[in-house]
Structure 1
Amino acid sequence: MQQTSKVTLTETQGNSKKYLFPLILVTSLFFFWGFIHNLDPILIPHLKKVFTLNDLETAFVDFSVFIAYFVMALPAGYFMRKYGYKNGIILGLGLFAAGSFLFIPAANTQQYIFFLGALFVIACGLAFLETAANPYVTVLGAAETATQRLNFSQSFNGLAAFLAPVIGGKFILSEATYTEAQLAAMPVAEKHALLVQEASTVKGPYMVLGILICIIAILFMATKLPDIKHEETEEQPSTIKKALTHSHLRWAIVAQFFYVGAQVCVLSFFIRFATMSAGISESEATWYAGFAGLAFMLGRFAGTFFMQFVAPNRLLMLYGLISMGLSLVAIFGSGMVTVYALIGIAFFMSVMFPTIFSLGISGLGHDTKLGSSLIVMSIVGGAFLPLGLGYISDLTGNIQYGYLVPLLCFTVVFIYSWKFWMPNTDKLKPETKN
C-alpha cells in the first residue's frame, strides 16, 4: 500500500531528523545509478571479446543507454507530474531491477542484441530515478542546507565511479585473452564452451544488483515520503519554440550534447584505450579506470571550491582548453602518459555538466522548467558521438585516433564558455565579451 505523506514542503524542510532515513534511501539512488553507468567501461571490452565485435559495434552499449534517456525524459516527467515522485522512483527501480535480471537470459542466449535490450530497460529506469532524486534531496530537510545535502548525495555518484570499474573488473573480466586467429583455430565445441563461460560472468554481478534494487524498492514502498507534486502557477505558458528564443539556451543544449558525448567517449572506452595505447592488461586497466572515476569526483569538489574565486564561465573555458590539450596527448602520445592524460581529462571535465546546465537555465524566467528538460534531453549526445569514436578507431586501426571526437567536443564547450554563455533577456544575439 502506498504511503505518501501529505505534509507541506515547509513542514518537510523543518523536520530534518524525521526524514533522515528517506534521505539515506534517496541518496542510495545516486550511488546505484553511478555504479551501473560505470560498469559500461567493463562491459565494452568484455562483450567485445565474447562476440568478437569491432569498436563501432561496442559503441552501441552507450547508444542503448543514452537513447533510452532521450526517449524517456518527457514520459518520466509527465508520469511524475500526474502520479508523484515517489511512484516515479518505484517504477524506475522496477525497470532498473528488471533490466538487471535480463542479463541472465541475455547471457544464456548469447545474443548481443539482448544485452543491449537489457541496458535499454535499465536506462529507462534510471531516467525516472534521476528525474526524481534531485528535487527529493532538496526538500528532505531544512531549506538553508538544501545545497549541501545535494552535493553530499552527488558525492556518492562519484564514489560509485571509483568502485564500479574495480569491482566489475574483478567479477566480470577474465584474464584470458584470445586473438581472432586462436579462436578461429579452436574446435567448434571448445570455442562455444569458452564463449558461454565468458558470457556467463555477468550473471552473478547483475543478479546481485537486481536483488539489491528490489530491496531498495520495497523500502521505498514502506517509507513515508512527502508528495512534492508541483503546482503550475505561470501566467505565460512556456513552449519549446518560446524557450529556444533564448540564444544562450540554444548554445547550452549544443554544448551539453557534445560534453556528454565527450564524457562517455573518455570513460566508456577507457579500458579498451589503456590496453591498446599503454599495452597493460585489462585487469590493470580497471584500476586506472577507478582512478579516473576518483579524479572525476575530486574534480567536482575542486571545481566547486574554485568557483568561489573564478566566474563559472571562465573556469569552464579554462577547463575546456586544458581538456583539449590533454586530448591531444591521448591522441598522439604513447605509453602510460596517454592513460594519465585521460585521468586528467576526467578531473577537468567533471564540472562541465552542472556548469553548462546552470548557465543554460540562467535568466530563463517562465521558460526555466522547459529549458531544463531540453538540456537534459541533450545528453543524447552520449548515444551518438561514441559511434563516431568507434568508427574512426575501426577505420584507422588505432583507437587513439578515435579520441579526435572528444577533442572536437571540448572545443565546442570552450567556444560556448568563451562567447555564447551569457543570458540575453532581450532575446538578441549575445554581445561578445572578451
Structure 2
Amino acid sequence: MAQNIKSYRYSLAIIGLLFFVFGFLTWINGILIPYFKICMELSNFEATLVAFCAYFAYFVMALPSAYVLKRTGYKKGMVWGMCVMALGTILFIPAAYSRIYPLFLAGLFVTATGLALVQTAANPYIAIMGPIEGTAQRIGYMGIANKVAGIFCLFVLGSVFLADADSLSSSLEGLNEIQKSAALDSFALKIVNPYIIISIVLLAVAGLVYFSKLPEVDEMGSGTNEDGKILKDRKSVYEYPYLVLGVIALFVAGACETVPIDGIIIYCQALDIPMSSARHFSTYTLFIMLFGYLLVSILVPKFVTQQKVLQFASIWGLALTVATYFTSGIYSAYCLLFLGFSASMLWGAIWGLALRGLGGHTKKASAFMIMSLIGGGIVTVVFGDLLDTYATNPQISVLILIPCYLFILYYSIKGYRKDYWKTTSIS
C-alpha cells in the first residue's frame, strides 16, 4: 500500500511538472497578443490569430496524437511531444530577426502540435490514474501547477516584452518609416533570449520524463460511472452521449477560459486603460483562477460533487458576463478579470464527467476533448474582431460568452447524465 501511494505521488509530481510547462507555453499568448500587435502593427483581429493558430493545432493534431499514443504509450508520447514543442519555440528566433508574423504563427503551430501530443497523453493519464470521482480534484492540482506557471510567465515575460510598450507606441508617431522600422525591429528582438532559454528547458524536461519511472495506467479500470456501475463497452465513442456533449462543453469552456486571459489586455486597451496597467491584468486573472483551483482541490469530492461545481461556475460566469457588459472602464475590466474564477472550475469537472466509463475508448475520447480546445482560439478571434467592429462600445464583445455558459449550465444539469441518446439513465 505504501509503495502504491509513493508511486501515485511520484506520477502526480511528474504530470504536475508537465502541466507547469503547459501553463507557461499556453498563457504566454496573453503577452504575445499585445506584443505582436505592437511590433507587427496588427489589428485586434490579426493579433488574436496567435490564440487561433495555437488552438488550431490542437484540433488538427489531437487525433494523430491519439494514434501515436497507441503505438508509443503515454510516457514516450509525452517525451516526443516535448521535443516537438522545443522545435516550435526555436522557430521564434529567426521569426524575431526577420519580423515575419507568419513565421511566428508557424512557430506557435509547431509548439502547439507538441502540446497537443503531451496533453492528449497527460489529461487522460491524470483522469484515470485514480478513482474517477477524484478526477476534478487531481486536475485541480494540475490546474494549480498550470496557473502558477502562467503567473510566473506573465509576470516575468510581461515585464520583458511590454515594459516600455506605452513609450514606444507614443514615440512611433513622430518617426519616419526607416526609424519606425528600426525601432520595431529592436522591439521584436526582445523575444530571442527568453525563447532560447525556453527551448533548452523543454529539452531538459523531455530528458527527465524519458528517464523517469512513470508507469503506464490501466485504461480499462475507467470502465465505471461515478456510482461504480459497469458500463458496457461500445463500438464507437459516438455511442457515449455524455462524452459527445462533454466535448461540446469543453469547446465553449475553452472560450470562457481564454478570453479573460488572452483577451483581457487588448480589452483593457479598448477601454483606454494604459498598457502600463493593462499588461498586468492577465496575471491578475491567473491569480483568481489559481484561487479557484485551490478551492476545487479542497472541496471536490469530499464536500461537493463535480457537477455541482460546474453548475455554480456556469451561473457565476453568466452573472459576471452580464456585469462586464453593463459596466464601463476599469470596472468592466475587473468584471472580465473575475470571470477567471468560474473558468477555473470548468476544465477538471468536464473532463471528470465526460471521460468516465469509456474503457478502451479513453485515448480516442481524450483526443476529441483536446480537439475541442479550438473553441478557445475561434471565440478569441471573434472577440478580437468584435473589439475592432465595436470600438466605441467594446463591452459588446463579451456577450459571445453568454451562449457558452448557457451550454455548460445545460451539461452540468442534464447533459452529463445522458448515458444513451434516447434516455438519461446516469444519475
From 165, 180, 190, the equivalent of 1:201 is: 190
Partner Cα distance (1:216, 1:403) in 2: 37
* Contact map agreement 1:424 1:430 (CA 8 A) in 2: yes
Deviation at 1:191, TM superposition (A): 0.7
Deviation at 1:187, TM superposition (A): 1.4
- 1:345 paired residue number: 339
Mean Cα displacement is larger for which, 357-366 or 141-150? 141-150
- 1:5 paired residue number: none
- 1:416 paired residue number: 411
* Contact map agreement 2:31 2:158 (CA 8 A) in 1: yes
Deviation at 1:199, TM superposition (A): 0.9
- 2:92 paired residue number: 103
Identity rate, percent: 27
1:174-323 alignment to 2 at 5 Å? 174-177=163-166, 183=172, 186-221=175-210, 223-226=211-214, 228=216, 238-239=234-235, 242-277=236-271, 279-307=272-300, 308-323=302-317
From 95, 101, 110, the equivalent of 1:121 is: 110
Deviation at 1:35, TM superposition (A): 1.0
From 171, 182, 190, the equivalent of 2:160 is: 171
Partner Cα distance (1:294, 1:349) in 2: 12
Partner Cα distance (1:47, 1:39) in 2: 12
* Contact map agreement 2:48 2:381 (CA 8 A) in 1: yes
3-state SS of 1:177 partner = helix
Partner Cα distance (2:217, 2:292) in 1: 34
Partner Cα distance (1:143, 1:359) in 2: 9
Partner Cα distance (1:367, 1:34) in 2: 27
Q: Does 1:407 align with 2:394?
A: no
Partner Cα distance (2:15, 2:408) in 1: 31
3-state SS of 2:216 partner = coil
Q: CA RMSD in A?
A: 3.5
Instruction: Give the direction of change, closer, same or farther, for the CA distance of 1:431–1:393 in structure 2 (3 Å limit).
Output: farther
Amino acid at match of 1:225: K
Q: Does 1:132 align with 2:126?
A: no
- 2:226 paired residue number: none
Partner Cα distance (1:248, 1:138) in 2: 16
Deviation at 1:270, TM superposition (A): 1.3
Deviation at 1:202, TM superposition (A): 1.1
Count how many residue pairs are aligned between Structure 1 and Structure 2: 417
3-state SS of 2:102 partner = helix
From 45, 52, 77, the equivalent of 2:66 is: 77
Instruction: Give the direction of change, closer, same or farther, for the CA distance of 1:86–1:12 in structure 2 (3 Å limit).
Output: farther
Unaligned runs of 5+ in 1: 1-9
Instruction: Give the direction of change, closer, same or farther, for the CA distance of 1:346–1:190 in structure 2 (3 Å limit).
Output: same
Deviation at 1:347, TM superposition (A): 0.7
Amino acid at match of 1:281: P
Mean Cα displacement is larger for which, 314-323 or 98-107? 314-323
Instruction: Give the direction of change, closer, same or farther, for the CA distance of 1:309–1:231 in structure 2 (3 Å limit).
Output: closer
What do the CA deviations read for 1:61-95 (whole angstroms, capped 9, x no partner)?
Answer: 01111111111212222212212333222211111
- 2:228 paired residue number: none
Q: Does 1:112 align with 2:97?
A: no
TM-score by length of 1: 0.84
Amino acid at match of 1:256: L
- 2:34 paired residue number: 45
Instruction: Give the direction of change, closer, same or farther, for the CA distance of 1:401–1:211 in structure 2 (3 Å limit).
Output: same
Partner Cα distance (2:2, 2:61) in 1: 32
3-state SS of 1:186 partner = coil
- 2:4 paired residue number: 13
* Contact map agreement 1:419 1:432 (CA 8 A) in 2: no
* Contact map agreement 1:13 1:141 (CA 8 A) in 2: no
* Contact map agreement 2:242 2:418 (CA 8 A) in 1: yes
Instruction: Give the direction of change, closer, same or farther, for the CA distance of 1:231–1:326 in structure 2 (3 Å limit).
Output: closer
Partner Cα distance (2:276, 2:405) in 1: 29
Partner Cα distance (1:294, 1:89) in 2: 28
Partner Cα distance (2:307, 2:26) in 1: 27
Partner Cα distance (1:139, 1:316) in 2: 20
